[in-house]
C-alpha cells in the first residue's frame, strides 16, 4: 500500500516515539534546531522519544547525556541504555558477555577480509567507540555508490553476519537481534504498550521497525528506498530528515491539545 501524507493532526493515540537518528533526526549530518525543539516539546507534553539507531555506544552515551531523552537503543539493537534520575546510565545487552567477546574476534577478522576484498571500503571513524559491531562509511566522510555498498553487505551476509545498508553506514553484526526485537524488549521492560508506540525512520536499515509497529512514519527522504522496504511506512512527511521529524512532532502535539 502506498504511504499516506502525514496528516496535520495525528489520528492515533500515541505516547512514545521510537525514531532513527541519522537523516531522520538529523539532516545532511546536522541536527536542525527544529528537531531539538521538537524533542523538548514532546517531552514536556508527556510523549517520550527513544532513538533506535545504528550509532556506536559512544555516540549513544553522548546523545543520552545531552538530549531530552531518557533511553536509547544502539548499534542496531545490540543494547539499550537507560538514564536514571541520578544521571547514571545502565546498559542492557541483547547477548551475553561471553558471546559478545567471541563475536568481536570474528568481526575483527571479517573487517580485515572486507578491506582486502574491497580496497575502496573505509571503516567509520567511530569504530573504536563500537562495542558489538563493525561499520563501513558509505556517505559520511566517504561516498560510495549504493550498488557497491550492497555488494559489501552481501559479502558480509555470506560470511554469516547480519548487514544493513543505511544512508551513511553499512552496519555489520553477529547475533539474532534487530532494532525491532530490542525495541520490543525495551517496551516490555518499561511496561509500555506497543499499540501506543509509533516509529519514524528513513531507510531500509529500519525495515524491521517498519514491519513491527502498526503505525509508522517515514521522513521524506525515505521515498527513494521504498522499493527496498518490505513493509513501507504508514505515512510520509513532506520535509526530509529532522525537519520531517519536527512536522511529526507538531502533528502529535495537535492530537493532544
Give strand ranges (E) for 54-98: 71-74, 79-83, 89-93
Cell of residue 191, nine digits: 511496561
Cβ pair 86, 167 in contact under 8 A: no
Cα separation, 253 vs 257, in Å, equals 6
C-alpha 34/C-alpha 73 separation (Å) is 22
**How confident is the prediction along the chain (257 residues), in pLDDT tens digits per residue?**
789 999 999 999 999 999 999 999 999 999 999 999 999 999 999 999 999 999 999 999 999 999 999 999 999 999 999 999 999 999 999 999 999 999 999 999 999 999 999 999 999 999 999 999 999 999 999 999 999 999 999 999 999 999 999 989 999 999 999 999 999 999 999 999 999 999 999 999 999 999 999 999 999 999 999 999 999 999 999 999 999 999 999 999 999 86
- In this prediction the pTM is 0.96
pLDDT for the residue numbered 111 = 97
Q: What is the pLDDT of residue 1?
A: 72
- DSSP labels, 17-53: EEE--TTTTSBTTB--HHHHHHHHHHHHTT-EEEEB-
Which domains, and CATH codes, for the chain? Answer: 4-94+177-255 (3.40.50.1000), 97-173 (3.90.1070.10)
Kindly state the cell numbers that stand for 227: 522499493
Q: Which residues contact 241 (CB under 8 A, 6 or more apart)?
A: 23, 24, 25, 26, 27, 28, 32, 202, 219, 221
**What phi and psi, each to the nearest 5 degrees, are found at residue 51?**
-65, 140
Residues 225 and 4: their CA atoms lie apart, in Å, by 16
The pLDDT assigned to 257 comes to 67
Amino acid at each position: 500500500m502506498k504511504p499516506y501524507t502525514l496528516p496535520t493532526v495525528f489520528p492515533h493515540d500515541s505516547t512514545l516515539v521510537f525514531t532513527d537518528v541519522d537523516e531522520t533526526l538529523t539532516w545532511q549530518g546536522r541536527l536542525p534546531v527544529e528537531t531539538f525543539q521538537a524533542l523538548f516539546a514532546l517531552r514536556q507534553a508527556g510523549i517520550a522519544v527513544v532513538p533506535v539507531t545504528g550509532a556506536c555506544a559512544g555516540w549513544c552515551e553522548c546523545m543520552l547525556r545531552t538530549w531530552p531523552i531518557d533511553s536509547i537503543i544502539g548499534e542496531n539493537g545490540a543494547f539499550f541504555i537507560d538514564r536514571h534520575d541520578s544521571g547514571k546510565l545502565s546498559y542492557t545487552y541483547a547477548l551475553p558477555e561471553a558471546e559478545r567477546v567471541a563475536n568481536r574476534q570474528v568481526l575483527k577478522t571479517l573487517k580485515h577480509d572486507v578491506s582486502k576484498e574491497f580496497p575502496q571500503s573505509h571503516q567509520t571513524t567511530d569504530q573504536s567507540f563500537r562495542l558489538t559491531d563493525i561499520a563501513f562509511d558509505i556517505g559520511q566522510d566517504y561516498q560510495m555508490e549504493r550498488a557497491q555498498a550492497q555488494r559489501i553487505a552481501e559479502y558480509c551476509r555470506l560470511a554469516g553476519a547480519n548487514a544493513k545498508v543505511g544512508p551513511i553506514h553499512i552496519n555489520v553484526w553477529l547475533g539474532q537481534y534487530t532494532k525491532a526485537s530490542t525495541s520490543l524488549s525495551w517496551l516490555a521492560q518499561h511496561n509500555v504498550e506497543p499499540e501506543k508506540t509509533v516509529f519514524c525512520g528513513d531507510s531500509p536499515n529500519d525495515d524491521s521497525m517498519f514491519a513491527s509497529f502498526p503505525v509508522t512514519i517515514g521522513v521524506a527522504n525515505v521515498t527513494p528506498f521504498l522499493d527496498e522496504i518490505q513493509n513501507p511506512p504508514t505515512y510520509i512527511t513532506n520535509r526530509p530528515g529532522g525537519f520531517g521529524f519536527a512536522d511529526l512532532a507538531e502533528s502529535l502535539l495537535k492530537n493532544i491539545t
